[in-house]
Structure 1
Amino acid sequence: MASSDFWPLCALLSLAVVQGKQYALPLPVPEIVRVYSDGNDIHDFGVWKMNVEWRDNFPVGNKPEPVTYDVEIFHTEQMRLVHKETIEDPMGTHRWSWTSPLPLQCTSHSVRLRTRHQSHTSEWTPLYTLKGKDIDDSSESNIYPQDYVARVGEGIVFCCILKKQSHAGFSPPPFTIQISNRTYITEPVRHDDVSSVSGFDILCDYTGATYFIGYAPDDQNLTCETRDLNSVECHWIPGKTGKSRMFNVQYKVNGRNCSVDRCVLDDSVDKGVMNWTLIAKNSLGEKMISDVADPKHRVRLKAPTITSAVLVHARNATLEWQWGEKSKLNSFPMICQVEVNGHTVQETFNGSGLKSLVLTDLQPFTGYSARVRCGSYEHFYKWGDWSTLNTFSTKEDIPEAVDMWMQILNGHTYVVWKSLTANQSHGIITGYELLLGSTTDEPKEHISKATNEHCHKVSAKRAEGDYFMFISAKNSAGISPPSKITIPNLQSDGGIIPDHISGLNDSFSISWDPSPNSSCGYVVDWFPTYSTEQCAVKWMKISSGVSNATIYSDFENGVKYTLSVYACTSGAPQLLQRREGYVKELAPVGKVQNLTAEQHGKDIKLSWKDMHEEEKKGFILGYNVYYKHSSEDQKYDILMASIRDPSVRTHTLSILRSGNYIFKVKAFTSAGEGPESDVYRYVDQQVYTMVSSILIVLGTLACIIAIIVLFCIKREWLQSKLYSDTPKPVFSGEWLTQDFHHCYVMDKILLSESEVLMVENPEPCLQVVPQVQKAQQEVDLKSKDPPWTRYYNDVCDPQTVSPLTIDLSYTEVSSPGIQNPTYNIPLSLPDDANLVLGYMPQIQNGDNQLQPCDVKFVQMDSAGYQPQSQGSSQTTEIPNETSLPLSTASVSSSEYLLHQCL
């Protein structure tokens, strides 16, 4: 290596060594020049941005690259680190800004810096403090920020600096976080909607602050167009910002100030395609939007200046307007549209600089209002603005034909017609002209009617036949075409009986069979059925081919209407159908008439008459019958019957007890009951009971008398049928010879009606006594020796008495009325059949001594032989043969008395 090259190399190595040693030296500490807040807060509402300026202490030309700076910020009183950051300073300005999350007035902030190069750092600078309001000796508490404007949803931190006199550690909500001895802060406060005009308030220690919530500008749809071919007008849709003036937006289009939603630029529209830019800005931000177009393709014309209508006739009128004397629109090809009485006419009008148009198909004597708007004919973009309204009235014309009809009421015929509407009269109606005549050559009758008359009564003479009538309305322009109607004969209704009809939804729906006689359609008319007002009829004309109609009119609920359908013919109208009904039924308002109550035995018959037709308010379906007793236990009316036939106006009630009654009858329709009609009645059931008893007694007596009379007349026949002859008893000889311990004595055998003498004879004897009457017996038997009595033995001796045998068997003998048993008793008796047999057999004991036997009674009636029991038997002792019986009984010829002795 040459010596000339060695020395430069050494110099470079020496420089490198020196440079390395210099970088290895400790980095110099930067020097803070100034710390200050950003902005000029003259109102002390709140400042958030802190600025720091410093300078390096590197030797000139010896600053290493790259160099960064570490920065730390503290809340001074608590020396709490609130922010740290490593920053670069490529421009070498040595200036840095930091935005605090809360106003800098809330507390003092301290900042320090150090230099960093690669892994080497310098020492920290001394703390440099930006003082807050918490070190002031204020006698009032303060809140920061004041009048703060924030976005919707943004978190805001408020601080409250208490005055020195306030208690240390006091934490008024929502200020719950203490950052210095006197300063308290809140958690971030957020709102999801804009504030009102007055904003939101926050309070602390009897002081407060107001803040506002809103949006940054968000305008849309910038559109620029020309209105007169001389300038450009831009408009847009403003966005939602807020309700307070704190959110007012400033607008500029291409650098020129504009109003809130439009901006007029005096630019030529002949430059072709143009660009427009809108900048909207408020305290929360700004928005920029643009539009590009050729103004001649964006023509939206202003409203023309319309003049009064000219050349107005009965059915057309001409409109005129102006664009201005020097306006470019006087030669601009355009298309125009007109609106008449609020309805846009479909027809359009076009031409260069169009200034007039003709309106047709107008109604005579009618007021109109019209306005006009126009647009570009070659490059139609939008319709322009409407002009002001122009009002005018068309002239009069002759009226239209009058709608006429007829009504037959109470034997009279009336011709009626309707008033013409404004669209039909075509002017002011001054009267009506009537022409009445017939098909013959009789002279016609001319009648004039005033404008307020719409009815004419046809004379009875003319009503007898078919006559016709013409009617015409007149005004200042002339007279209307005549309307004609043929008046039918008064008896032309054909005897049609009206049917019922019910309304629905405040209307009547009616249909009919098409008539082959109908040549000009049909007429449906209606009127209140019971109205006596003349010409109260209303009608509706139906075209041919239609056989139904729904009628809407000023119908009243509860009023009965008569509806008729006529066929319109070349002659008189022909009645096809008649109906009567209610558009809506109501409950009756009237009472049934002449309610009476009559008592018939135990029944009460109620009767009444129908109510007045106009009081029914509906079709009567029947009647409800009530009653109420005057007793306190019956407090309410009792429904006795519901009569479902309106033609039945009587009812019979069966009353159970006597007393005062109130009987009530109410008529009802489908809508309910009407008012009651009542009658008072006292009901006496005792009278009925007494009368019934008397009738029963009288009837019974009549039956008895009839039986007696019958018995007297038919006595022999009845006796032969009811009472048969009793056979005579015959004694058998074996009856006394048999060995027995019982004997039977026949006291009496009655062969005919007689008095029966019942005797219990203790002595043995056989007595035969003729039958006599009871009174005579009692006299004759007291005699010891009556001439007609024979004694055979005082003591019954078997040797002297012939043995007799009594056959007690019997057979039934049928009888028409009474079952009469016939006894077969073979016995020999004297010729006089009327005898009383008193035979007392004796029983022989072991000494052959005869003993008297006890007498028992056995009674036989018509039912047969019935022996009396021993316990119930009765005996009568007769001490001697002259003793009389103690009792008698009256029996018929079919009764027998038997004594049983043991």
Structure 2
Amino acid sequence: FLYCGPQNVTLQHSGWMLLLSWEDQPSCSAVQDVLIYQLVVLRTGQQVHYFGFKDEVSVTSDQIESTHYWNWTSSLALECASHSVRLRSQTSPWKEQTIPGKQTSEGPEVFPKDEWFKVGSTVTFCCILPSREAFSTMYLTGYDGAQLNTTSNQTYALTVHLNQVSENSCTNVICKTKTNKENGACVYIGYPPRYRDLRCETRDLESVECQWTVEGGKSRPFKKPKDPQLLGRPCPMPSEGRCSQKVEKVGVGERNWRLTAQNEFGKAELSDTADLSKRVHMFAPNGVKAVTVNARSVILQWDWTVQQYNILNITCQVHMRCGEITIIENFGVGLNCAVLNGLIPNWTYNVTVRCGTAQYFWKWSDWSKKVLFQTYGDVPEALDVWMQMEGNQVKIIWKV
């Protein structure tokens, strides 16, 4: 029979979490198989969590003589009651460590305080009374019908389903004694970033630009999301509902574009699967001008701010206004000009141009700046004229 168990057991806490660490006794070095530890969590002496034969903490032979760690998150703030952890191996007695609950001598104290809770959470608040005070009431501002329990002689617990956002500031949790002593805590209730409908594209073929919908209107100051991250990197110039990042290569097939954002209430994750070479949202044509103007035709010309547009198969629309609206469509690789025929001589025209990719059309660019031009006057062709003599008369004839 080999006696082997834990030693140097330490229990600490962080927030609502119990953190247990321990080492193996020297005799455990003789264990050839797996060493199994069992743990029990007690709250005010009552068992609330147990790692038994189905969920043991197993230590393999190569892990023996190292420090082992285990943690557990309580559903009740650790100030509200004492929390103990018991630990043993299959051949050792229990060893116990305790984190005591909060004690008060002045007036009632409420926990947790200054915490952030997501809408939809169920939270238990507690009120701890001094030894000679009697409990009167406990409530959460704006909530009715919460469940009230007693956890010990001087500790009372209020369990509430949080379904209302804190307005302007925090929500108060109030506890009163029968001698009219009153104290409370302030908690914040809200939503994680409420983002949806992520859509990603490229404009310059060197970066990805994503947009999404922000629900719920403007965020209140205390729950404003931290700057979102696209592809695991902070957005360099974040704005509401938009983010861009440089990428090594655009045309590498479909890829998962992932956006994450978080605030004190939680984290939001969105993704969009797309091949950016099929989602090119072009910039508007730059510097559109009428380079050759005739009486009945004109040549329009422009350039591109993105050099890679010159190798794309492009379709462009010319919007022409001259009393009536006409839209003319042109196609071509690196298209940077258009010829408009059938114009009216000596007439003023107002034109603007927009373009998109032709092979995998995604969306039109913005319209370019408007261009005004006037066609030249048209000189009629010389008439085909001849004369006929009939006696004393001359007849002049021309072809229409």
In the superposition, the TM-score normalised over structure 2's length comes to 0.69
Rounded Cα–Cα distance in structure 2 between residues aligned with 1:386 and 1:29: 73
Match of 2:111 among 108, 132, 143: 143
Instruction: Name the residue aligned to 2:187.
Output: 210
Instruction: Name the residue aligned to 2:48.
Output: 82
Is 1:54 matched with 2:22? Answer: yes
Q: 1:347 to 1:370 in 2, by over 3 A?
A: closer
Task: Give the secondary-structure state (helix, strand or coil) at the position aligned to 2:223.
Answer: helix
Deviations 1:399-435 (A, max 9, x none): xxxxxxxxxxxxxxxxxxxxxxxxxxxxxxxxxxxxx
CA contact (8 A) 1:251 1:278 kept: no
Instruction: Report the CA distance between 1:185 and its aligned residue.
Output: 2.0
Letter in 2 for 1:233: V
Rounded Cα–Cα distance in structure 1 between residues aligned with 2:350 and 2:126: 66
Unpaired runs of at least 5, structure 1: 1-21, 39-46, 398-902
Instruction: Report the CA distance between 1:307 and its aligned residue.
Output: 4.4
Instruction: Name the residue aligned to 1:169.
Output: 135
* Aligned ranges 1:804-819 → 2 under 5 Å: none
Q: 1:84 to 1:268 in 2, by over 3 A?
A: closer
Instruction: Name the residue aligned to 2:11.
Output: 35
Instruction: Name the residue aligned to 1:71.
Output: 39
Letter in 2 for 1:84: Y
Match of 2:210 among 235, 242, 247: 235
Deviations 1:258-284 (A, max 9, x none): 245332315345x65364542414252
Task: Give the secondary-structure state (helix, strand or coil) at the position aligned to 2:138.
Answer: coil
Match of 1:337 among 303, 314, 317: 317
Rounded Cα–Cα distance in structure 1 between residues aligned with 2:194 and 2:200: 17
Letter in 2 for 1:89: S
* Aligned ranges 1:273-352 → 2 under 5 Å: 273=253, 275-283=255-263, 284-285=266-267, 287=269, 289=271, 291=273, 293=275, 295=277, 297-307=278-288, 319-324=300-305, 327-330=307-310, 332-340=312-320, 345-351=326-332, 352=334
Rounded Cα–Cα distance in structure 2 between residues aligned with 1:198 and 1:308: 56
Unpaired runs of at least 5, structure 2: 140-145, 176-181, 378-400
Which structure carries more helix by proportion?
A: 1
Letter in 1 for 2:156: Y
Q: 1:94 to 1:31 in 2, by over 3 A?
A: same
CA contact (8 A) 1:143 1:158 kept: yes
CA contact (8 A) 1:54 1:94 kept: yes
Match of 1:105 among 79, 85, 107: 79
Deviations 1:152-199 (A, max 9, x none): 42312222344x3983333323572232454322124232x7665646
Instruction: Report the CA distance between 1:97 and its aligned residue.
Output: 0.9
Deviations 1:283-304 (A, max 9, x none): 5245363635262x44321112
Instruction: Report the CA distance between 1:375 and its aligned residue.
Output: 1.9
Rounded Cα–Cα distance in structure 2 between residues aligned with 1:281 and 1:246: 12
Rounded Cα–Cα distance in structure 1 between residues aligned with 2:75 and 2:165: 22
Is 1:154 matched with 2:130? Answer: no
Instruction: Name the residue aligned to 2:99.
Output: 130
Rounded Cα–Cα distance in structure 2 between residues aligned with 1:81 and 1:328: 68
Instruction: Name the residue aligned to 2:361.
Output: 381
Instruction: Name the residue aligned to 1:95.
Output: 69
Letter in 1 for 2:200: T
Deviations 1:9-51 (A, max 9, x none): xxxxxxxxxxxxx25xxx566445211113xxxxxxxx21111
Structure having greater relative contact order (Cα 8 Å, sep ≥ 6): 2
How big is the alpha-carbon RMSD for the aligned residues of Structure 1 and Structure 2? 4.2
Deviations 1:728-750 (A, max 9, x none): xxxxxxxxxxxxxxxxxxxxxxx
Task: Give the secondary-structure state (helix, strand or coil) at the position aligned to 2:309.
Answer: helix
Letter in 2 for 1:289: S
Task: Give the secondary-structure state (helix, strand or coil) at the position aligned to 1:156.
Answer: strand
CA contact (8 A) 1:238 1:261 kept: no
Task: Give the secondary-structure state (helix, strand or coil) at the position aligned to 1:50.
Answer: strand
Letter in 2 for 1:355: C
Letter in 2 for 1:147: E
CA contact (8 A) 2:352 2:370 kept: yes
Instruction: Report the CA distance between 1:393 and its aligned residue.
Output: 7.9
Instruction: Name the residue aligned to 1:695.
Output: none
In the superposition, the TM-score normalised over structure 1's length comes to 0.34
Rounded Cα–Cα distance in structure 2 between residues aligned with 1:153 and 1:179: 24
Q: 1:277 to 1:137 in 2, by over 3 A?
A: farther
* Aligned ranges 1:190-589 → 2 under 5 Å: 190-191=162-163, 198=169, 200-204=171-175, 205-215=182-192, 219-225=196-202, 227-229=203-205, 231-238=206-213, 240=215, 243-244=219-220, 246=223, 248=225, 251-258=228-235, 259=238, 260-269=241-250, 272-273=252-253, 275-283=255-263, 284-285=266-267, 287=269, 289=271, 291=273, 293=275, 295=277, 297-307=278-288, 319-324=300-305, 327-330=307-310, 332-340=312-320, 345-351=326-332, 352-358=334-340, 369-377=350-358, 379-390=359-370, 392=372
CA contact (8 A) 1:312 1:395 kept: yes
Deviations 1:778-812 (A, max 9, x none): xxxxxxxxxxxxxxxxxxxxxxxxxxxxxxxxxxx
Letter in 1 for 2:185: G
Task: Give the secondary-structure state (helix, strand or coil) at the position aligned to 2:156.
Answer: strand
Rounded Cα–Cα distance in structure 2 between residues aligned with 1:216 and 1:33: 40
CA contact (8 A) 2:4 2:28 kept: no
Q: Percent identity?
A: 22
Give the number of the structure whose alpha-carbon radius of gyration is greater: 1
Task: Give the secondary-structure state (helix, strand or coil) at the position aligned to 1:186.
Answer: strand
Is 1:178 matched with 2:150? Answer: yes
CA contact (8 A) 1:214 1:241 kept: no
CA contact (8 A) 1:218 1:240 kept: yes
Task: Give the secondary-structure state (helix, strand or coil) at the position aligned to 1:167.
Answer: coil
Q: 1:166 to 1:356 in 2, by over 3 A?
A: farther
Rounded Cα–Cα distance in structure 2 between residues aligned with 1:240 and 1:357: 46
CA contact (8 A) 1:216 1:282 kept: yes
Task: Give the secondary-structure state (helix, strand or coil) at the position aligned to 1:157.
Answer: strand
Q: 1:90 to 1:364 in 2, by over 3 A?
A: farther
Letter in 1 for 2:208: E
Deviations 1:449-494 (A, max 9, x none): xxxxxxxxxxxxxxxxxxxxxxxxxxxxxxxxxxxxxxxxxxxxxx
Task: Give the secondary-structure state (helix, strand or coil) at the position aligned to 1:302.
Answer: coil
Q: 1:371 to 1:104 in 2, by over 3 A?
A: farther
